[in-house]
Structure 1
């Protein structure tokens, strides 16, 4: 009798979980934006990041990625959020939460410090850029072939978006894009140590 060695890679349950969490998170953003448009007439946007404001503007670090300046703004973020979030979630919900927390904090603080007086910053694009850079760099740090391959695919799909970290387009928070991307790079570096560790496997005896 021979017992099979454990298989590697995400199974069906992992794919389903990733899909549910990815769609669920984006669904929450849509619910919030519809409520904002219908009930609050855009009033929730005031909870975005107001740079160097130590009151509500600082609290905006918590709320800004959940808010959008209209349906069109959210539409532009929806597909990248679904795709990039799903790819990270294939590594587990805990990993997605860790990456998201790092990007959220670094992106928010960086925007609050550098966004400029009398400006308001909001939108989940900070997460888009953070998740994008995380996926691009995690394979570089972990040296895992599969993660490098995913990074190349992501680069082909969304690499052009990285120009958004540079100033130039009016009304676009390049600071949120830049510091979200920095947060994603930091997450890739910090979390790659876990990815690089060899996964112990128990070899089953053959009888």
Structure 2
């Protein structure tokens, strides 16, 4: 790979995370600046109009605290996704985001559900389980780092805090796990090593028993062996 390709890939790794974080902050700024309320564009469960929320919910936030809490994990997890899983990164982000919104629409309570938390849990789940499933040392190390940084998030897939869309968290977590299993053979995987056969290996049979090769004695034509 040339230096230009490496530089291009490095820029791309951070371009998507930076763009996503910028967009959600810009949308929130528009709400504040022009006194809009985009909450009605979130997911409203089991309602046809509320179905539009599966496209928009991941960009809408209720306040700066909500926005800030999602921004840092989004940047870290998106960067990890596009660096280690670039072959499937767009599919995980786009298809996974839509499925997370759809599952939230199906199982959630009636109030509007907004925020990028579903994407955060989708990425957290995908990155963590992908490393464990693939058993590649670099990816396993990444999984351990992710669980160290954000492991406490797992508790919020349960209804333990009022005013929090645990359904969105659970949806993202489940979709991330499914995608980790589905894409487990694409990208970096554990290498299966094949060892070459040596002369020493020929001394043993397929069951591991010692079996030296038989030495055939050739009797030259016209040669007589006398034994007294």
- Normalising by structure 1, we get a TM-score of 0.84
Equivalent residue for 2:119, pick from 118, 127, 150: 127
Task: Check the 8 A contact 1:49/1:120 in 2, yes or no.
Answer: yes
Equivalent residue for 1:49, pick from 43, 46, 49: 43
Relative contact order (C-alpha < 8 Å, sep 6+): which is higher?
1
Larger Rg: 2
| Distance (Å, rounded) in 2 between the aligned partners of 1:93 and 1:45 | 32
Task: Check the 8 A contact 1:18/1:92 in 2, yes or no.
Answer: no
| Distance (Å, rounded) in 1 between the aligned partners of 2:173 and 2:51 | 20
Deviation of residue 138 (structure 1)? 0.5
Q: Which residue of 1 aligns with 2:183?
A: 191
Where do 1:1-207 residues align within 5 Å?
Answer: 11-39=6-34, 41-55=35-49, 57-91=50-84, 95-117=88-110, 119-195=111-187
3-state SS, counterpart of residue 88 of structure 2:
helix
Q: Deviations over 1:32-80 (max 9, x none)?
A: 11112211x242111000011112x011111000111122211111100
| Distance (Å, rounded) in 1 between the aligned partners of 2:20 and 2:36 | 20
Deviation of residue 24 (structure 1)? 1.3
Q: Structure 1: which 5+ runs fail to align?
A: 1-5, 200-207
Q: Structure 2: which 5+ runs fail to align?
A: 192-228
Higher helix share: 1
- Normalising by structure 2, we get a TM-score of 0.76
Task: Check the 8 A contact 1:135/1:151 in 2, yes or no.
Answer: yes
Task: Check the 8 A contact 1:102/1:184 in 2, yes or no.
Answer: no
- Cα-Cα RMSD: 2.2
| Distance (Å, rounded) in 2 between the aligned partners of 1:46 and 1:100 | 23
Q: Deviations over 1:115-153 (max 9, x none)?
A: 123x11010000101100111110222222211110011
Task: Name the count of aligned residue pairs.
Answer: 189
3-state SS, counterpart of residue 195 of structure 1:
coil
